[in-house]
Amino acid sequence: MEETALGQRVCRRCLTRDMKGQEEYFRSLQDYIENMDPDIKAAPELYEGRLAICQECELLFQGMCRSCGCYVELRAAVKKNECPWKKW
């Protein structure tokens, strides 16, 4: 974790579901993922496996991929999607 100029702690490797301060916005993202059409949604094991890989990646920054700019939780939730760096 790192501290901002205002003394707030920022976790650069957090997923949006773990971030505090913008709960309503991130909750709507989680609600969207939870209610995604099952035909396009990744299986829970695949989704969690992808997120585990993203959490170890040096390009993850506050829930976003610094390579492509996506929210990794949203990209990982769609079964046909893949990592822009082919990590999953």
What is d(CA 25, CA 41) in angstroms, rounded to the nearest whole number? 21
Q: Residue-wise over 60-85: b if at least 16 C-beta within 10 A, else e? A: beebbbeeeeebbbbbbbebeeebee
Confidence of residue 13 (pLDDT cuts 50, 70, 90): low
- What is the overall mean pLDDT for the chain? 85
Amino acid identity of residue 49, one-letter, is G
Reply yes or no on whether the pLDDT at 4 is more than 70: no
* Per-residue pLDDT tens over the stretch 30-52: 899 999 999 999 999 999 999 99
In 1-88, beta strands by DSSP E: 2-3, 9-10, 60-61, 64-65
pTM over 0.95: no
pLDDT of 86 strictly over 70? yes
Q: pLDDT class for 5, splitting at 50, 70, 90?
A: very low
Q: Where are the domains of the chain?
A: 12-77
